[in-house]
Amino acid sequence: MNYVLNRLCSYPNIKAGITSIGIDGEKSDLVTNTKKPEIFLYPNTFFTTVEEFYKSKNIISNILSVSKQKTILGRLITSQSISSGKIMISGPNNNIWLKDLIDELIGVGADIVLVDGAISRMSFGSPTITEAMILSTGANVSLDIKAIVKKTSFVYQLTELPEVEKEIKDKIFDLDKGIYSMDKDNNIIDLDIPSVLLIDKYKDKLISEYKDIYFSGIITDKLLDLIINQKSSHNYKIIVKDFTKIFSSQEKTELFIRKGGKINVVNKTNLIAITVNPTSTVGYNLNSDELIDRLKQVIPIPIYNIKD
């Protein structure tokens, strides 16, 4: 976050807004107790954080609004910084509220809004909420460069999954619950399966003559195992809302694709860059040149070392 904010604030005509889906800016991680970088704001930055953190800030700012809704840490306060300094940031706890907040920040004057995310809460990176995504990777993912490259390239590949055809997209766009198949004429058929988590009970409905299937929720290893074990697994096309709905492991997902299966998304993610931190929170340093070089061999988008 600090790296991107610093770059944005070097452009005098751009006003940035920021918030977070977790807690950012604390001196140490509240779970692991490891050191974390504090969030540094520049003058004329719009930000939203909980009132508890707002009271402890060390910058001067103007309050623009106070939310009626509350998180466990209190109401959200949206402000504009007057001075520079450090602050802790924590924002909305659900997708709808986050999307509304982004609109609010733009409405009060932000040209661009940054949402600090988390790998454990990837749904907040859905393209239905944010227009683009920057993926952060590095020594906190693993201390093995090969493992970092493998995991990072897999996330990149998921963001590159192709969008489904427009005709089908228009038909399933508003289907937020259930599992559906499509016949040869692209008619939508409700399979009457309440959840992929109950797939064992309803597998006969899933394994039918129609191989194009839309899952409004997540896909899992158990689901892919069921399809992979079918003789016709190469004919299956799985459709999900976006890459954040893919909860299956890298191994199972890649096996399904190697066997000829396809995965399409309703909304494709715009991954615009990858940032690399070669230093772990416990102080271990990787060879940043080697890491970035190996990432660039398999990922054709801009990759930046935040320590440079």
pLDDT at residue 59 in the model: 92
Rounded average pLDDT over 237-264: 95
Is the pLDDT at 268 greater than 90? The verdict is: yes
What SS3 state is found at 267?
A: coil
Output the CA–CA distances (angstroms, integers) from residue 187 to 162, 167, 183, 268, in the order listed: 21, 10, 6, 23
pLDDT tens, position by position, 34-64: 566 678 999 999 999 999 999 988 899 999 9
What span, in angstroms and rounded, lies between the C-alpha atoms of 262 and 237? Answer: 5
> Mean pLDDT of all residues in the chain?
89
What span, in angstroms and rounded, lies between the C-alpha atoms of 193 and 20? Answer: 35
pLDDT tens, position by position, 186-230: 899 999 998 888 888 888 888 877 789 999 999 999 999 999 999
114 confidence band (pLDDT: 50, 70, 90): very high
pLDDT at residue 1 in the model: 83
Torsion, CA 224, CA 227, CA 233, CA 239, rounded to 10:
-60
Is the pLDDT at 32 greater than 60? The verdict is: no
pLDDT at residue 29 in the model: 55
What span, in angstroms and rounded, lies between the C-alpha atoms of 57 and 229? Answer: 56
pLDDT tens, position by position, 139-195: 989 999 999 999 999 999 999 999 999 999 999 998 989 999 998 888 999 999 988
Domains of the chain: 2-131 (no CATH), 166-265 (3.40.140)
